[in-house]
């Protein structure tokens, strides 16, 4: 009778089944890990980092905070000043930004096309302007005078010619000018 043969093939079948089961489990774990990497990678690539403000590049010039009539320096009810500006190939709008001394200032900028840089010489103010995002930085100027505002991110063939000016005037002068205009610049 064939008693011993089925005994041997049964233990072999048990071993094969166990191996298959574990192959499926290990393969499943690997697939799960790869799927987690893909999902989190895509999620992070598609989401802006937290606490970052976004803006729609397509409607930048026709609606919202960065329409042309809203650019420049605005005196806020609390006495602070908000400066709004745009970088685009190859200039800043406005080209000359007017700010007062001894006043809390908030710069709010964005880009209309590619990544630009925004820095004010002689200060620690240094931002990247990324299309679709609002870059914001607080500032305060102690002394009047002109400072340069060059683009410091390579943004194309005209990059070297992309720069503007910051004009710091004493607070009393700025407040007199702000009484007559909703948005101030020093563009001639
Ligand atoms: Cu804009 Cu370099």
Ligand 1 neighbour 155 (Cβ under 6 A): yes
Convert 15-79 into a string of H (helix), E (strand) and C (coil).
HHHHHHHHHHHHHHHHHHHHHHHHHHHHHHHHCCCCCCEECCHHHCCCCCCCCHHHCEEEECCCC
pLDDT band at 9 (very low <50, low <70, confident <90, very high): confident
pTM of the predicted structure, to 2 decimals: 0.73
Q: State the average pLDDT over residues 13-34.
A: 96
CB of 164 sitting under 6 A from ligand 1: no
pLDDT for res 33: 97
Q: Name which residue sits closest to atom 1 of ligand 1, judged by CA.
A: 116
Euclidean distance between CA atoms 165 and 147, whole angstroms: 6
pLDDT attached to residue 45? 79
For residue 170, report the distance from its CA to the centre of ligand 1, in Å. Answer: 30
Percent of the chain with pLDDT over 70: 94
pLDDT at residue 127 is higher than 60: yes
pLDDT tens for each residue of 58-89: 999 899 999 999 999 999 999 999 999 999 99
What residues have CB less than 8 Å from 188, skipping those under 6 apart? 96
Number of helices followed by number of strands (H, E) in the chain: 2, 11
pLDDT the model gives residue 138: 95
- Sort residue 91 into left (φ over 0), alpha (ψ -120 to 50) or beta: beta
- Any ligand 1 atom below 6 A from CB of 88: no
Residue 3 has pLDDT above 70, yes or no: no
> How confident is the model at residue 48, as a pLDDT?
64
Instruction: Give the pLDDT score at 43.
Output: 86
């Amino acid at each position: 009778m064939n008693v011993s043969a089925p005994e041997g093939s049964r233990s072999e079948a048990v071993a094969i089944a166990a191996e298959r089961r574990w192959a499926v489990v290990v393969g499943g774990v690997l697939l799960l890990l790869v799927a987690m990497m893909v999902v989190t990678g895509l999620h992070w690539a598609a989401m802006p980092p937290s606490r970052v403000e976004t803006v729609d590049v397509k409607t930048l010039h026709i609606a919202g905070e960065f329409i042309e009539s809203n650019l420049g320096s605005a005196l806020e009810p609390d006495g602070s000043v908000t400066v709004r500006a745009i970088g685009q190939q190859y200039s800043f709008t406005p080209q000359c930004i007017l700010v007062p001394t001894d006043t809390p200032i908030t710069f709010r900028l964005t880009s209309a096309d590619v990544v630009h840089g925004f820095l004010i010489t002689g200060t620690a103010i240094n931002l990247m302007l990324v299309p679709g995002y609002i870059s914001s930085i607080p500032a305060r100027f102690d002394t009047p005078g002109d400072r340069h505002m060059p683009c410091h991110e390579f943004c194309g063939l005209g990059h070297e010619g992309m720069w503007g000016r910051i004009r710091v005037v004493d607070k009393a002068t700025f407040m007199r000018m702000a009484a007559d205009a909703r948005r101030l610049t020093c563009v001639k």
